[in-house]
Chains A and B, each alone.
Chain A
Amino acid sequence: MRRLLGRLLIALALVTLAGCASEPVQPWERGTLAKNEMQWAPDPLEAVLRDHIHFSKEASTGGGGAAGGGCGCN
């Protein structure tokens, strides 16, 4: 059931992304997207610390980039 749910979520995400009705945004129209608050991680040190703590106190990790372990936290 869980695996089915996982695959369903993957399929949903792919369909969502593929089906996005994107506007033809020209390069000179991307000023808002370039704002700091529109970045995936506007405060990098904050993001790293939060991921670090959650990874240490929970059983899940990954999904956000080149996660790779490098720890002894079982």
Chain B
Amino acid sequence: MAGRDPHPSLLALTSSALLLPAYQQANADAPPEFTTLGMSYSRYQEDDTQAGRTLGGDSIERYEIDVAQFYLLTPVSDDWSVALDVQWEDMSGASPWFVGLDADGGSKVFMSGASIEDTRTTVSVNTRYYFDRGNAGFTYTRSDEDDYESDAVAFDGAYNSADGLTTWSAAVSASFDDIEPTQGVTPTNTLEDSKDVFGGYLGVSRIISKRAILRFGLSYTYRNGFLTDPYKLQDSRPSTRKEWAVSSGYRHFFTGPNAALHVDYRYFDDDWGIASHTVDLAWWQNLGRKTQLVPFLRYYTQDEADFFSNTPDFSERYFADDFRLSAFGGITTGLRVRHTVGNWTLNATGERYTTSEDFGIYSGDESPALVKYWRYSIGFNYSFR
């Protein structure tokens, strides 16, 4: 399509990372009592690429994305529910195309020249059956973009112990994706290709006191097909990828301050040489009966892929200069406010994400294309009580 030149980062933000619908709680064991709907609008804005980090020395605008979300969850009988999730995204901006050396031998990023424009629509439908000691669900998700289509299915279930203190959960998922890169000014690494993704998850959660609950999970993901970034100039990746993730979570309610502490941790490892640690902290402070103030903090650090380099060796079978495969650390700080009025709950969020090779615990070449962004969201939920 003339004038359109989607790049990998565009594809990146158009992914459906989670197949589970938004409304599914990890410890859900009863059908909803009434219909609930929610809507949200978000604005995502990446910082401009710094002039000193680009070939040519110009400061260049990166992505800005508008996101609208909608969900509806409704009971259809005493033991069934149906849910619908829809997400629209409209994005524009420039994306890193490749990394090269300047006259002084420093690594600089070359951005895509024309502004990229694309939209994405994702629709997810879920049905869930509830029985005495658990539930089982099926989800179908369809995602459409100009150059990418995905069909995914997932089955999941949860089962409670007789005393209700422990919940075991499991899930399997499969995604079948087709990519047909938009042909524009820059060449692409394929004209048409596909990939499949299969995932599995096992988890257990346990009530450990009247005010605390703990969970643990293990997931495995297998990707097979065209995993190379179709739009990056210097990119050739293996056609399979095996990923493991170990996660844990903890919730504790403090009666004195009338607040809940959230602690989540994930360790990730794959056969591309990437490992990462993620820590999420949040403090849900109740202010009276209707308002909540939620400051949150996230720390992320990852190792680089075996084949990542700012100066790729093209004699090797695999190579990439994608910043997302580099070693770096990321810090997110944010604040969320929720206010309930009758059956309405209004919310607003602002967060800042910053990255640096210096923030990470792993060493490696620092990519000149690391991203920083602001994100703002407003939304509401309504319950038909």
| Contact-residue size bin, chain B (C-beta under 8 Å from the other chain) | 35 or more
B295 interface hit (Cβ, 8 Å) = no
Q: Looking at the assembled complex, report how far the CB atom of A29 sits from the nearest CB atom of chain B, in whole angstroms.
A: 5
Whether B284 pairs with A13 at a CB distance below 8 angstroms is: no
Which of chain A's residues have a CB closer than 8 A to the CB of B249?
40
Q: Nearest B residue to A27 by beta-carbon distance?
A: B164
Whether A72 pairs with B179 at a CB distance below 8 angstroms is: yes
A60's contact among B24, B268, B322, by CB below 8 Å, is which? B268
Whether A49 pairs with B40 at a CB distance below 8 angstroms is: yes
Question: Which A15-66 residues have C-beta < 8 A from chain B?
Answer: 16-17, 20-25, 27, 29-30, 32-33, 35, 37-49, 51-66
Q: Looking at the assembled complex, report how far the CB atom of A34 sits from the nearest CB atom of chain B, in whole angstroms.
A: 9
Whether A56 pairs with B9 at a CB distance below 8 angstroms is: yes
Which of chain A's residues have a CB closer than 8 A to the CB of B25?
39-41, 44
State whether A17 and B237 are in contact (beta carbons under 8 Å apart), knowing that A35-B253, A52-B13, A70-B143 are contacts in the complex: no
Q: Nearest A residue to B180 by beta-carbon distance?
A: A72
Count of chain A to chain B residue pairs whose CB atoms are closer than 8 Å in the complex: 305
Which of chain A's residues have a CB closer than 8 A to the CB of B203?
65
Q: Nearest A residue to B199 by beta-carbon distance?
A: A68
Whether B22 pairs with A48 at a CB distance below 8 angstroms is: yes
Whether A46 pairs with B40 at a CB distance below 8 angstroms is: yes
Q: Nearest A residue to B67 by beta-carbon distance?
A: A49
Which of chain B's residues have a CB closer than 8 A to the CB of A42?
284
Question: Which B31-46 residues have C-beta < 8 A from chain A?
Answer: 38, 40, 42, 44
Q: In the complex, A37 Cα to B347 Cα: how many Å?
A: 14
13 contacting pairs across A/B (C-beta < 8 A): A6-B246, A23-B210, A48-B87, A54-B300, A59-B270, A59-B272, A60-B274, A63-B218, A68-B152, A71-B15, A73-B12, A74-B8, A74-B230
State whether A70 and B150 are in contact (beta carbons under 8 Å apart), knowing that A23-B208, A65-B171 are contacts in the complex: yes
Q: In the complex, A25 Cα to B216 Cα: how many Å?
A: 20
Which of chain A's residues have a CB closer than 8 A to the CB of B276?
58-60
B204 interface hit (Cβ, 8 Å) = yes
Q: Looking at the assembled complex, report how far the CB atom of B26 sits from the nearest CB atom of chain A, in whole angstroms.
A: 4
Across the A-B interface, give the 9 residue pairs with the lowest CB-CB distance, nearest first: A69-B197, A71-B15, A68-B173, A66-B171, A63-B245, A63-B247, A55-B17, A44-B22, A70-B175
Which of chain A's residues have a CB closer than 8 A to the CB of B336?
43, 46
Q: In the complex, A17 Cα to B215 Cα: how many Å?
A: 8
Q: Looking at the assembled complex, report how far the CB atom of A31 sits from the nearest CB atom of chain B, in whole angstroms.
A: 8
Whether B69 pairs with A62 at a CB distance below 8 angstroms is: no
B233 interface hit (Cβ, 8 Å) = no
Q: Looking at the assembled complex, report how far the CB atom of A1 sits from the nearest CB atom of chain B, in whole angstroms.
A: 10
Whether A20 pairs with B214 at a CB distance below 8 angstroms is: yes
State whether A67 and B204 are in contact (beta carbons under 8 Å apart), knowing that A40-B251, A61-B245 are contacts in the complex: no
Q: Nearest B residue to A2 by beta-carbon distance?
A: B275
Q: In the complex, A60 Cα to B225 Cα: how many Å?
A: 18
Whether A67 pairs with B173 at a CB distance below 8 angstroms is: yes
State whether A47 and B22 are in contact (beta carbons under 8 Å apart), knowing that A62-B221, A62-B243, A71-B177 are contacts in the complex: yes
Whether A45 pairs with B143 at a CB distance below 8 angstroms is: no
Q: Nearest A residue to B244 by beta-carbon distance?
A: A6
Whether A65 pairs with B201 at a CB distance below 8 angstroms is: yes
B156 interface hit (Cβ, 8 Å) = yes
Q: In the complex, A3 Cα to B204 Cα: how many Å?
A: 23
